[in-house]
A and B are shown apart, each in its own frame.
Chain A
Amino acid sequence: MNIAGMPCAATNFARPAAKMIGAGFLACLAWASAASAAGTGNIIISNEKSSTLTVLDAGNTVIRTIETCARPRGMHFSADRTQFYVGCADDDQIAIYDMESLELVGRILDVEEPETFDLHPDGKRLVISNEEDATATVFDVVEREFLDEFETGEEPEGVQITPDGKLAFVASEAANLVHVIDLEKGEVIKDILVDTRPRRFALTPDGGELWVSAELAGIVNIIDLKTLKLVADIAFLPTGFRKEQVTPVDVLITTDGQRAYVALGRANHVAVVDVPKRKVIDYLLVGKRSWGLALTKDEGKLYVANGLSDDITIIDTASLKPIKSVPVGMVPYGILIDDH
């Protein structure tokens, strides 16, 4: 592809595997995208079933719907936040968009069924869970190279890299394991058995704890990062729901390390947790099957993707009240807020 007025770099890119030969990669680097320090203010939502991205402006009004690659799920900002990555499971690729123009500027191809990913603090290495292959792969998003691959249990899902860049955690939904990958040694150094169907991670800001949602167990497991052992669980049960309806997916911890938000899936609520006390302080009613979460930079607003009601709920975190819900595409999955 070529975008008029932008210098494009065409690079051949292939994973070093026989079946990948001929797979090309075409990248156009965004032309000095001069996003302001506050970002565009836009909110991007990936819609897994309609294969679209919904874009809201800072006033939470839908301003664009972008047709994207098939079954878009995980998303992540580039290191300088001028671009964002969208993993498309059914097209085996990661699409790269320019944040300001919302144009597709590149694709990383031959990424087997990507689900979610995390960007290394070096801004180059993207660690990706490849759902069907039962692997975690590492791609260099700057040089656009395949770097490494690790075996995981079936259906790897959440990926979390430590701020020091040394470890990557990958949750295997079907194996009930959290794999600990030492990125310096390039090997899986530990498999931690957790509760049923681990999905997503959040790190406490002090780097002491890793929180893991266990979807089918209806709890969050807490792993101590020094010992890499389970130290506690937090169970959820909003009033009027049965235990099996509580299926937590996304987890966020605020930068002060005081509060966590946990999307409770079929229980149609978000749990608000006091992190130091490991206690639930409130349940907020949202849409059906809440799973994806994002906070604004000031952490004043929480965005919740509701997978089965095709909308997002916006919550005011000071009053802990939902302030708006916005219809988006089918099965909204991930949320990015460009307000940094």
Chain B
Amino acid sequence: MIIDGALLRRLLPIGLAILLFAVLAWPDRSLAAGEAKTFTFLYVSVADDAHYAQTKSYTGLVLRDRKPPIDGAQAAIRESRIIGRSVGVKFSLEHVELESAENAADRLAGLIAKTAAKAVLLDLPPAPFRAVVGRFSDDDDVVFFNIRHRDDTLRQSTCAQSLFHALPSNRMLTDALAQYLKSRGWTRILVLAREAQEDRNLADRFVASAKKFGLTIADRRAFVLGNDPRERDKNNIALLTGGARYDAVFLADGEGEFGRYVPYATFRPRPVVGTDGLVASAWHWTWERYGAPQLNQRFDRRASRRMAEEDWAAWVAVRSVVEAVARSASTDIAAIKQTLTADDFAVDLYKGVPGSFRPWDHQLRQPVLLHTYNAVIARAPIEGFLHKDNILDSLGIDQGESTCRLDEQAP
């Protein structure tokens, strides 16, 4: 068949339109065939971050040895290869370590431009974290993930359109504990808090959780680490936990040096929860339900260590974006954000309930694990606690009380 030039010129646009339509309407949710697109994640940390310094205790004991959770992000990237194959996207991860926290936002702007990264995992201390979030708060081209901070104010007064939170907030964690205490009938709680701002804040969150779930605060007491007999009512655990009637002790001690001596040393024989004893976390290496052993083993095999909750947060941040790319069949950030906050978004958390992001504050909805040092005792939301929309919203500051209204600002 011979087609003359004029006819071809007339038919060509129609043909192209049909081709374009076929590509757009492709029901397999895969991106246009041809060369795979790349989608780059950036993992940002800062050199000599005190957060990761080994905290040696008296006599050289290493009580805390945090590892940067980039291993979690790498695990998720490895898992994404075949999903990428199915949608024609190659996911990659670049790690940049800032020399210092100064001008973190400016430096990061250059790095984002240089790497063409579309999603950024922030492993930064509070000050540079806030600086970066402030600088990019309404950025439309990049999505940022909080994989480290539990501070509720990041989800409230300083929430941002471009920021998503993979780790649960403190209030989600204290709500989880309060649900558990209530379900056990341990309703009178003695609150012990270190006199540091972060621990006072944590105790405040717990007090709010207690109110929400109908617990009674038997008393709230501050403790100090030391042996000064003049301060014995604040540093002696028996005195500190005497003279009150309570069913359980809530402990707020981010440092941990005092707190580790509280269980089994209280005046009354009562369980300890909070920063010691029964602890609320996003993840635990002994979690054995809902496919968790597979994820824990997969992580351990590569990273040669146990998966910590920050590792899990980095993992779920990457997995969420990958899921959004696969479901939206797009690498466009606006489409990804819309997918992440859609009602029907579902990322497998390995905690039995699919995860999604709250549209009003971009917090990942998720169950919280309540665990001892070597066993998960319960998973919150605890059976029996209900919510009008989503049972996971029984954990944390709910839509009605939130001062963050990202869903109303959204374009």
Chain A residues packing against B (C-beta within 8 Å): 131-132, 134, 151-155, 172-177, 179, 191-193, 195-197, 216-217, 229, 242, 244, 247, 266
Contact = CB atoms under 8 A, between A and B. Distances in A.
B27 interface: yes
Nearest to B75: A154
Nearest to B326: A193
Interface of A is mostly: loop
Interface stretch (B145-153, B347-355, B401-409): B347-355
A217 B346 CA distance: 8
B46 interface: no
Given A175-B79, A193-B326, A229-B28, 8 more contacts: A132-B301, A154-B79, A155-B291, A176-B323, A177-B82, A177-B86, A195-B346, A196-B354
B86 A191 contact: yes
Nearest to A177: B86
Interface of B: 27-30, 79, 82-83, 85-87, 291, 294, 297-298, 301, 323, 326-327, 346-348, 352-354, 391
Which has the most chain B C-beta neighbours within 10 Å: A132, A191, A216? A216
The 10 closest A-B pairs by CB, nearest first: A191-B86, A153-B82, A244-B353, A154-B79, A196-B346, A175-B83, A216-B354, A193-B29, A175-B82, A155-B294
11 contacts: A132-B294, A134-B79, A153-B79, A154-B79, A173-B291, A175-B83, A177-B83, A191-B82, A192-B28, A216-B354, A217-B354
A134 B294 CA distance: 11
A153 B352 contact: no
B298 A193 contact: no
B326 A244 contact: no
Contacts of A175: 79, 82-83, 86
A176 B327 CA distance: 10
Nearest to B295: A174
Given A196-B346, A266-B352, A174 B28 contact: no
Contacts of B301: 132
Nearest to A308: B289
Contact of A242 (B30, B82, B294, B391): B391
B267 to A, nearest CB: 39
Contacts of A151: 82
Nearest to B344: A217
A175 B76 CA distance: 11
Given A192-B28, A193-B87, A244-B391, A176 B326 contact: yes
A192 B85 CA distance: 11
A74 to B, nearest CB: 15
Which has the most chain B C-beta neighbours within 10 Å: A152, A179, A191, A229? A191
Contacts of B326: 176, 193
Contacts of B82: 134, 151-154, 172, 175, 177, 179, 191
Contacts of A191: 82, 85-86
B291 A193 contact: no
Contacts of A179: 82
Contacts of B291: 155, 173-174, 197
B348 A196 contact: yes
A197 B87 CA distance: 17
